[in-house]
Amino acid sequence: MGELLFFFLENMALIIALMYLAIKTKEAVLLDWTNPIRQRLIISAFFGFLTFSIMYNPFHFEGMRLDLREVPLFFISYVGGWQYGVISAILPISFRAYLGGPTVVLGILQSIILPIVVGSLFHERKGVNHFFGIVDIKRMMLAFVVFESIKSVWMIFSTPANLLIASGMFLFSAAAIFSMALIFNSENRMLLLRKELEFYSNQDPMTHLPNIRFFKNTVGKLIDRQMPMAIIMLDVDYFKVYNDTHGHQKGDAVLRSVAQILKDSTRKEDVVARYGGEEFICCLHAPRDEEEAAAFAERIRKNIQEFHFEGEEHQPEGVLTVSVGMTFTAGGSELEEMIEEADQSLYQSKRQGRNRVTVFPGVMAESHEKVLN
């Protein structure tokens, strides 16, 4: 009996080792995890292989082939649902049928089909990617106890297995699946934390726009591809007056509104970010020419001017506006140089009366000289 217990311990160690290896590998390889079909096939193939590996060298007992094959099949069905379980079972079922023996049908039903059925019944059907989430270990272990209880009773009354064998399989299987869940949750917590830190390191927490770090990294890649683009910088006019009149909370609300107008006024391929303070920056992706880019910048200015901000009637011009500076390149310019040119144009707009668009090198196109009457 000691030999059997040592065998189950080996099975448990194999399950934990391969699970750990798979978890550590999933982010290292460049796979499209957003594709549900590809994800289902890759993950199911791994669990099918894991189950096959456990079955390959079983413990023989009175015509039975004993192993812990049910553990990975239950886990995949509980986490992913019946579709993952069914695909994962193709290789184990084929292999067990090929080996034959007096308990082949019972072996398939009790240790392959049953864990998939019970695991799928307890699967939480939510519209999320379960393989990048956190497993409820208490709920999973309760479901596993239900499965093992059914299986153990079924084995004792239908196969040569006795209570001691069934109990040993129960304990080692429970330890194995508990370990799988711990590894799974630990790695996914690290992944979620890493993504959260990456997200906040690239985002302005107040406006929820990308920050200048993200902007430079993203636009720098477009620069490297020699893409035509325009850099647009804008600054809220008399923002200190607004803050002094209405308070910083209302001032923050203005910045959030400007950020939303910028997002609504730009396209998916454009890049918008908070530059700092009351300044924002935008990269217009692949405009046809400078005139199209300037018209785009003017449209942004006009959209902000026409938006009703709370208390804007107390501003010096009776309305809240922005000054805009823009520079254009057909490709080949340096990003820092373009930002500096847009910044110079922005301050030219400020000097010439605000609420206008200036195109580098300080040229005010006639169609962009609109100011408040």
Residues 110 and 243 in one domain: no
Mean pLDDT of 86-90: 96
Q: Does residue 303 belong to any structural domain of this protein?
A: yes
Residues 45 and 127 in one domain: yes
Contacts 24+ apart (CB under 8 A), 121-125: 122/78, 122/146, 123/77, 123/78, 123/79, 123/80, 123/81, 123/82, 125/81
Q: Is 191 exposed, middle or buried (0-12, 13-18, 19+ CB in 10 A)?
A: middle
Residue 365 pLDDT > 60, yes or no?
Answer: no
Residue 63 pLDDT > 60, yes or no?
Answer: yes
Residues 123 and 159 in one domain: yes
**Angle of the 70-80 helix axis to the 163-201 helix axis, nearest 10:** 40
Domain end residue (candidates: 201, 223, 252): 201
pLDDT grade for 81, boundaries at 50, 70 and 90 = very high
Q: What is the CATH number of the domain that holds 297?
A: 3.30.70.270
Residues 261 and 349 in one domain: yes
Residues 180 and 235 in one domain: no
Q: Does residue 207 belong to any structural domain of this protein?
A: no
Given a contact cutoff of 8 angstroms between Cβ atoms, the answer to whether 228 and 332 are in contact is no
Count of domains observed in the chain: 2
Query: 280-301, pLDDT tens digit by residue?
Result: 999 999 999 999 999 999 999 9
Element at 226 (helix H, strand E)? none
Given a contact cutoff of 8 angstroms between Cβ atoms, the answer to whether 231 and 293 are in contact is no
Residues 117 and 74 in one domain: yes
Mean pLDDT of 344-361: 94
Query: 159-195, pLDDT tens digit by residue?
Result: 888 998 899 899 999 999 999 999 999 988 988 888 8
**Which among 70, 148, 187, 278 is annotated as catalytic?**
278
The gap between the terminal CA atoms of the chain, to the nearest Å, is 96
Residue 246 pLDDT > 50, yes or no?
Answer: yes
pLDDT grade for 24, boundaries at 50, 70 and 90 = confident
Q: What is the CATH number of the domain that holds 66?
A: 1.10.1760.20
Q: Which range of residues forms the domain containing residue 107? A: 2-201
b or e along 115-126 (b: 16 or more beta carbons within 10 Å of the residue's beta carbon)?
bbebbbebbeee
Residues pairing with 168 in the sheet: none
Residues 103 and 148 in one domain: yes
Q: Would you state the pLDDT for residue 368?
A: 41
pLDDT grade for 128, boundaries at 50, 70 and 90 = low
Domain end residue (candidates: 201, 228, 255): 201
Residues 119 and 17 in one domain: yes
Task: Extract the tokens encoding 1.
Answer: 């009996």
Omega prior to 361 cis, within 30 of 0 = yes
Residue 18: phi and psi, rounded to 5, are -70, -35
Mean pLDDT of 234-247: 96
Tell me the pairing of strands 357-359 and 322-329: parallel
Residue 278 pLDDT > 90, yes or no?
Answer: yes
Given a contact cutoff of 8 angstroms between Cβ atoms, the answer to whether 327 and 345 are in contact is yes
Residues 219 and 179 in one domain: no
Q: Does residue 373 belong to any structural domain of this protein?
A: no
Q: Does residue 206 belong to any structural domain of this protein?
A: no
Q: Does residue 153 belong to any structural domain of this protein?
A: yes
Q: Does residue 21 belong to any structural domain of this protein?
A: yes
Residues 152 and 281 in one domain: no
Q: Would you state the pLDDT for residue 1?
A: 63
Domain end residue (candidates: 176, 201, 226): 201
Residues 280 and 353 in one domain: yes
Residues 79 and 222 in one domain: no
Q: Does residue 228 belong to any structural domain of this protein?
A: yes
Known catalytic residue at 278: yes
Given a contact cutoff of 8 angstroms between Cβ atoms, the answer to whether 355 and 322 are in contact is yes
Given a contact cutoff of 8 angstroms between Cβ atoms, the answer to whether 231 and 326 are in contact is yes
